[in-house]
Amino acid sequence: MDQPVRELSYAQAIQEAMAIAMEQDERVFLMGEDIGVYGGAFQVTGDLVERFGADRVIDTPISELGGAGVAVGAAVTGLRPIFEFQFSDFATLAMEQIVNQAAKMRYMLGGAVSVPVVMRFPAGSGTGAAAQHSQSLEAWLGHVPGLKVIQPATPHDAKGMLLAAVADPDPVMIFEHKLLYKMKGPVPEGYYTVPIGKAEIRRQGRDLTIVATSIMVHKALDAAETLEAEGIDVEVVDLRTIRPMDTQTVIDSVKKTSRLLCVYEGVKTLGVGAEVSAAIAESDAFDFLDAPIVRLGGAETPIPYNPELEKATVPQVPDIIKAARDLVSGRR
């Protein structure tokens, strides 16, 4: 029997996923700065402390390294922590625990232990939070063997991928774009999962493949509507998972459209789009290309505080439209 579907915001979907996980498994608990009575920096945890108590919704000191270390240690000893960073930028303070401990323990101990920790990172620009609170660092963590890195773009996927992450035996890093928290969409009731490591085709097309991540999926879909009116039929692939990346879905799409545009908010150099481009260049899809692959990523600069400058540093819908036009017309 199909589960009833309602409209929830992205933030509500995440909160519901955490509540379901905690109801089903007493080993699941939440950690993070101000996630208790305050409800989280972006109000995602909401009233969960009232529902589950302060021993399972734990306010941590202002020490990302310490909090991440406790979460990793708890996971190794059999618990299933979900650790929230106030901003994804603060992952930089916990890299020792994320990169040297969580990612490597299973390997270094010959598979004798697993590290089922979930870490949530509110990420991205658009809130006027300036250079130290607006970055997109998913490519950093995507470079590390042993970690799984996901970027849900819809409320449906935010809930289903978080539940899949909680059930996963390995550390899963979830990057949640801050501008998506208020976005609403259909979300089934009850428990369900969305597979980690599987991309989703959000729009079928024949002239151009746009591979996008997180909020850029929605910008790509908006651009595709404008381009459709001009006779350009765009296929939009939501990558969803950075590591392990579903390159086969991208390869199949490029074979159909013969053109590829990668759109992502992180800095262009060494970003997610570089890996997607390399995967196509190294596959048999390369022979199907009618134009060079194009990457449309963030500018080579810290994120400015000024709202107009902030917008200018990351791809916007008009930028995607122009890049797509140029690709299809042969101007790129």
For residues 45 and 54, the answer to whether their CB atoms sit within 8 Å is no
For residue 163 the two structure tokens come to 């539940």
Catalytic site residue 133?
yes
DSSP assignment letter at 285: G
133, 156, 177, 218: the catalytic one is 133
Q: How far apart are CA 125 and CA 216, in angstroms?
A: 12
- Sequence-separated (6 or more) residues with CB below 8 Å from residue 5: 186, 187, 188, 189
DSSP assignment letter at 142: H
Q: How far apart are CA 168 and CA 327, in angstroms?
A: 39
For residues 152 and 138, the answer to whether their CB atoms sit within 8 Å is no
User: H helices of 109-179, where?
Assistant: 138-142, 155-167
16, 33, 64, 310: the catalytic one is 64
State the residue for tokens 């390399």. Answer: 278
CA distances for 153 relative to 78, 87, 184, 329, angstroms: 30, 18, 11, 29
Residue 137: name the closest of 183, 179, 176, 194 by CA. 176
Q: How far apart are CA 173 and CA 213, in angstroms?
A: 15
User: Could you give the residue numbers annotated as active site?
Assistant: 64, 133
